[in-house]
Amino acid sequence: MRNIISFSALTLLLLNCGGSVTAQDDEFLYDTFPPGFMWGQATSAYQVEGGWNEDGKGESIWDTWSHENLGGNIADGSNGDVACDSYHKYADDIKILKDLGVNFYRFSIAWARVIPTGRVADGVNQAGIDYYNRLIDGLLAEGIEPFVTLYHWDLPMGLEVTGGWLNDSIVDDFEDYSRVAFREFGDRVKYWLTFNEPHVFCLARWNYLSQNPFVEPPEKPYICAHNVVKAHALSFRLYDAEFRPTQNGTIGITLNTNWAAPKNPNNTDDQAASFRSMHFSFGWWANPIIRGEYPPIMRELVDRKSQEAGRNSSRLPSFDAQWTEIINGSTDFLGINHYSSHFVEYSNTSTWMDGDAEVKGSGDPSWEQNGIGWSIVPWGFRKLLTWMHEEYSYPIYVTENGYGGRGDEGLDDEPRVRYYRNYINEMLKSIKLDGADVRGYAAWSLIDNYEWELGYTARFGIHYLNYSDPNLTRIPKDSAISLTKIFADNGFPANESLLIV
Separation of alpha carbons 341 and 223, rounded Å: 27
3-state secondary structure of 460: coil
- The region of 13-21, 173-181, 195-203, 302-310 touching ligand PNW under the rule CB under 6 A is 195-203
Candidates 178, 194, 337, 386: give the one binding ligand PNW (CB under 6 A).
Answer: 337
Distance of CA 455 to the CA centre of its chain: 18
Separation of alpha carbons 383 and 368, rounded Å: 18
By beta-carbon proximity to ligand PNW, the closer residue of 413 and 451 is 451
Q: Which of 49, 59, 160, 197 is catalytic?
A: 197
Separation of alpha carbons 73 and 450, rounded Å: 14
> Is-cis flag, bond preceding 217, omega within 30?
yes
Q: Does 339 bind ligand PNW (CB under 6 A)?
A: yes
x/- map, 147-186, ligand PNW, by CB under 6 A: ----------------------------------------
Which sign, positive or negative, has the C-alpha torsion 44, 50, 53, 57? negative
Separation of alpha carbons 42 and 105, rounded Å: 6
3-state secondary structure of 291: helix
Q: Does 197 bind ligand PNW (CB under 6 A)?
A: yes
Q: Report in angstroms how near the CB of residue 71 gets to ligand PNW at its nearest.
A: 19
Q: Report in angstroms how near the CB of residue 169 gets to ligand PNW at its nearest.
A: 26
Which sign, positive or negative, has the C-alpha torsion 41, 385, 378, 74? positive
By beta-carbon proximity to ligand PNW, the closer residue of 10 and 42 is 42
Q: Does 423 bind ligand PNW (CB under 6 A)?
A: no
Q: Residue 180 in contact with residue 132, Cβ under 8 Å?
A: no
Q: Which of 175, 219, 400, 414 is catalytic?
A: 400
* Amino acid occupying residue 170: I
Candidates 29, 200, 209, 238: give the one binding ligand PNW (CB under 6 A).
Answer: 200
Q: Report in angstroms how near the CB of residue 156 gets to ligand PNW at its nearest.
A: 18
By beta-carbon proximity to ligand PNW, the closer residue of 247 and 341 is 341
400 is catalytic: yes
Letter string b/e over residues 316-337, b meaning 16 or more CB atoms within 10 A of that residue's CB: bbebeeebeebbeebbbbbbbb
- The region of 24-32, 118-126, 196-204, 427-435 touching ligand PNW under the rule CB under 6 A is 196-204
Window 239 to 298, contacts with ligand PNW (CB under 6 A): 256
Q: Report in angstroms how near the CB of residue 460 gets to ligand PNW at its nearest.
A: 6
DSSP state of 113: H
Q: Does 131 bind ligand PNW (CB under 6 A)?
A: no
Candidates 451, 472, 482, 484: give the one binding ligand PNW (CB under 6 A).
Answer: 451
x/- map, 366-405, ligand PNW, by CB under 6 A: ----------------------------------x-----
Q: Compute how many other C-beta atoms are within 10 angstroms of the C-beta atom of residue 2.
A: 9
Q: Which residues contact 479 (CB under 8 A, 6 or more apart)?
A: 403, 413, 416, 417, 420, 462
Q: Does 59 bind ligand PNW (CB under 6 A)?
A: no
Report the interface residues with ligand PNW, using CB under 6 A.
44, 47, 196-197, 200, 256, 337, 339, 400, 444, 451, 460
Q: Give the active site residues.
A: 197, 400
